Amino acid sequence: MSKKFVLVFSLIIVASMMLAACAKPAPTPAEPVAPAEPAAPAAATEADCAKPEVICIGLVTDVGEVDDKSFNQASWEGVVAGGKEVDAIVNYVETKDAKDYVANMQLFLDKGYDILVTVGFALGDATVEAAKANPDVKFIGVDQFQGEVVPNLAGLIFDEAKSGFLAGVLAGKLTKTKVVAAVLGTDLVPPVVNFNRGYVAGAKWVDPEINVISTYHPGGMDVAFTDPDWGATTARQAIGQKADVVFGAGGKTGNGALIEAASNEGLYCIGVDTDQWETVPEAHKCLVSSATKAISPSIVDLIKMAKDGSFPGGNYIGSSALAPFHDFEAIITQEIKDALDEGLKAYDANAITLPEK
């Protein structure tokens, strides 16, 4: 009796394990990279982090995983790349509970890590505290605006509105229906709001008649970025109202919107944060570009600066730009490129007013 029961149960477990095990192994960024320089006499391990000559770089994510195809992942990739540049050992911890920010950072500090990257504005306070308490460690706070300058803490911030603006200009130029859409994570996250503000301004800059329909996920932080079905349905709703360009800016929720746009003929979509051509292949059919924040390259730069002693405390503004056009290179006419250049100039000259939200 209970044997049959145990059998069924084990079946379910084994089946799911088999499914996962048989899946094609993914190029996960999950494995921390140990330094592999052939020239080194003996490979340094994590235990040596306390030694001054061994550089160890750590990463603490916001609530979420390091393979989230966006934020956390881009930061981790930056750490890995930067680690290679300076021959460092790298490791990460995924935060599951927001109350663990400090404790997670402490894990690295206890082991004598030299550089610590914390991802997301939610870790802002905790990072400042840790930086002040550990002046010999360099901190890089992604998306953390620094109100005051702490010399060993670089707040890596981006002008999201700028790349949003460029995305809006692109959308404005590409749209034939004069309706463009944006599907956004949540208005509780300032960078997301800034992307939208730039997007709206950009589209209107091209043609004030363009109708920009944008919407934020109604849920709280725990669901707003992990609801791809809502993203897809909302994109569908926008497409039904003649939107032919969809800007997906909201983690996995936004990804859902991109994929939805891709499954329709003749639509364009624009990704966010990183070059989503790489991370959301299902969206290739429509993905013209992405409004990026150069997270990875900026982290690499900061790591190098930390090594050669020119680490900039305070705010460090990384670049924000449009990702390459990949397969859509052909449709980006010179006219469009000129418009983008012009728009960029106007933006940099502070000639653009952004809407409220």
Question: Residue 329: left (phi > 0), alpha (psi -120 to 50), or beta?
Answer: alpha
Pick the binder of another protein from 218, 317, 327, 338 (CB under 8 A).
218
What are the distances in angstroms from CA 312 to CA 105, 146, 150, 204? Answer: 21, 12, 9, 37
Q: Which of 214, 289, 290, 320 binds another protein (CB under 8 A)?
A: 214
221 torsion bin: left (phi>0), alpha (psi -120 to 50), beta (else): alpha
Q: For residue 90, what are the β-bridge partners? A: 57
178 is a contact residue toward another protein (CB under 8 A):
no
Strands 56-63 and 115-119: parallel
| Residue 232 touching another protein (CB under 8 A) | yes
Q: Which residues have C-beta within 8 Å of that of residue 260, sequence separation ≥ 6?
A: 231, 232, 233, 235, 236, 239, 246
Nearer Cβ to another protein, position 120 or 172?
120
Cα distance between residue 327 and residue 337, in whole Å: 16
Residue 1 near another protein by CB under 8 A: yes
Site for another protein in 95-154 (CB under 8 A): 95-100, 103-104, 106-107, 121-122, 124, 145, 147
Establish if 39 lies at the interface with another protein (CB under 8 A).
no
Candidate residues 77, 159, 244, 260; the one interacting with another protein per rule CB under 8 A:
260
Q: Is 266 in the site for another protein (CB under 8 A)?
A: no
Q: Which one, 19 or 36, has the nearer CB to another protein?
A: 19
Residue of 93, 69, 79, 83 lying closest to 251 (CA atoms): 69
CB of 286 to another protein, least distance (A): 13
- Which residue's CB is nearer to another protein, number 97 or number 308? 97
Hey, which residues between 300 and 339 contact another protein (CB under 8 A)? none
Q: Report the site for another protein in 270-299 (rule: CB under 8 A).
A: 281-282
Q: How many residues form the binding site for another protein (CB under 8 A)?
A: 85
**CA dist., res. 72 & res. 9, Å (int):** 35
> Which tokens sit at 152?
């060993």
Nearest approach, Cβ of residue 41 and another protein (Å): 26
Nearest approach, Cβ of residue 140 and another protein (Å): 19
The stretch near another protein (CB under 8 A) out of 47-55, 91-99, 304-312, 345-353 is: 91-99
In whole angstroms, how close is the CB of 315 to another protein at the nearest point? Answer: 11
| Contact partners, residue 43, CB within 8 Å, separation at least 6 | 34, 35, 36
| Phi, psi angles (nearest 5°) of residue 232 | -65, -45
Q: Using the minimum distance from each CB to another protein, give the nearer residue, 250 or 343.
A: 250
Q: Which sign, positive or negative, has the C-alpha torsion 198, 203, 209, 213?
A: negative
